[in-house]
Amino acid sequence: MDTVTIQSLSAYEGQDVQLKGWVYNTRSIGKIWFMILRDGTGLLQGVVVKGEATDETFAMEQELNQEDAVIITGRVRKESRSVGGYELGIREIRVVSHVAEEYPISPKEHGTDFLMTNRHLWLRSKRQHAIMRVRHQTVKAIRDFFDGHGFTLIDSPIFTGNAVEGTTTLFAVDYFERSAYLTQSGQLYQEAGAAAFGKTYCFGPTFRAEKSKTRRHLTEFWMVEPEMAYCDLDENMDWAEKLVCFIVKRVLENSKTELEILERDLSLLERVVAPFPRITYDEAVKILADKGADFECGSDFGAVDETIISAQFNQPVMIHRWPERIKAFYMKRDEHNEELALGVDMIAPEGYGEIVGGGQREDDLDILMNRIRHHDLPMKPFKWYLDLRKYGSVPHSGFGLGLERTVAWLCGTKHIRETIPFPRTMSRLEP
């Protein structure tokens, strides 16, 4: 008899199979009782009927507890009313282990702090399970996109020796007899990669020591950061647009069941197709002014501002050409207006905020050196970075896409902490 997964049941209709998993819940109706099984790939309704199941199995109803580990055997049959469209006529249940005590997460309502403290168990719940599977599909889509478009994965280090733009939002750590920092971004190293390979990307954890408690912030999160040689701002925006369209299409294709569990309005994702609207920073400021927002021109957009701007569009909107004083020293300036940086932010619809940030990099050695001095940054830690402008410098661009913010938008979840297996915030370092 084959051991199969819930995800693959459609290939075994009418056959006897074995499944291994955990009891999600049970209920009874007269001489029939039901067990919902989870096995990590989905949920399955098993039906236990007197006379069809063994006597020992039929008598188990009162013995089984939520999260007992079990192996069940039975026949697969089509049932449109069941999750996934199939159910199992159970013949036998074998208990691998009973829970040691009452499972702490029950169907009743629990507070957020309780659920976060029990995150290692909360991950088993239907909603959290669905979000993690959407995250998995998003990660796979990102890798497939870049791997399929000629990019080379070049891993950036997590330990860095320089703070880039100051230490206020960096985590400092002891590194033998000197200080090091947990990386905020792998971008600078991808610039080296692009000069060697043409198109590269890194994908891994990044860290921000911002003392923020909003629903959009984590202290540890994942970013994918591509970098392309011989690429200007417009082409950079093309790449960001293509990536996001690819991700959305892949999730709609492969995660429909999970999105339905999350009660996501699929029509809002289905309309995410190229081309995305592209507006300048000044045009975005005008939108805020027309809507009566309290915003000071020249400032960065806050969450409320991004929500107002994104509400004017049905798709992600890309905002480009920002005031240079609020962008990083390494961002190239507009040749027609030195006060503008060739940066771009992509704002997701429905108030989910920035999911992509990037721009064209400064490729002139002298200009870059002057910028480092202007920002009062030490020159020595950037020697290797300046070498990239000494030896074969070319126009190049890149961006970073935040995985958790993207998953939050795709799932329609309210708080970013649900989109990462074990979130790290100002107040949360366990489990």
Give the C-alpha separation, 312 to 284, whole Å.
10
Say if residue 121's pLDDT is above 80.
yes
Containing 303, the helix (H) or strand (E) segment is helix 303-310
| Residue 364 binned pLDDT confidence (cut-offs 50, 70, 90) | very high
| Residue 211 binned pLDDT confidence (cut-offs 50, 70, 90) | confident
Question: How many C-beta neighbours within 10 Å does residue 260 have?
Answer: 12
Say if residue 70's pLDDT is above 70.
yes
Containing 304, the helix (H) or strand (E) segment is helix 303-310
Give the C-alpha separation, 44 to 19, whole Å.
10
What single DSSP character describes residue 8?
G
Q: Where are the domains of the chain?
A: 2-97, 119-419
Say if residue 360's pLDDT is above 80.
yes
What integer pLDDT is reported at residue 166 of this predicted model? 55
Give the C-alpha separation, 86 to 59, whole Å.
24
For 383, list phi and psi in degrees, rounded to 5: -55, -45
| Residue 396 binned pLDDT confidence (cut-offs 50, 70, 90) | very high
Do residues 276 and 355 touch, judged by C-beta distance below 8 A? no
> 288-342 pLDDT, tens per residue?
999 999 999 999 999 999 999 999 999 999 999 999 999 999 999 999 999 999 9
Taking every pair of C-alpha atoms in the chain, what is the biggest distance, in angstroms?
Answer: 85
pTM of the model: 0.94
Q: Domain spanning 2-97: which superfamily?
A: Nucleic acid-binding proteins (2.40.50.140)
Cβ neighbours for 341, distance < 8 A, ≥ 6 positions apart: 321, 322, 323, 324, 327, 331, 332, 333, 334, 359
What single DSSP character describes residue 194?
H
Q: What mean pLDDT comes out for the span 194-219?
A: 93
| Residue 163 binned pLDDT confidence (cut-offs 50, 70, 90) | low
CATH architecture of 119-419: 2-Layer Sandwich (3.30)
Q: How far is CA 399 from CA 191, 224, 295, 402, in A?
A: 11, 8, 26, 10
| Residue 278 binned pLDDT confidence (cut-offs 50, 70, 90) | very high
Tell me the three state secondary structure of residue 338.
Answer: strand
What is the rounded average pLDDT for all residues in the chain? 95
What integer pLDDT is reported at residue 165 of this predicted model? 57
Do residues 334 and 340 touch, judged by C-beta distance below 8 A? yes
What integer pLDDT is reported at residue 164 of this predicted model? 56
Cβ neighbours for 223, distance < 8 A, ≥ 6 positions apart: 185, 186, 203, 204, 206, 400, 401, 402, 403
- Which residue's structure tokens are 């030490």? 378
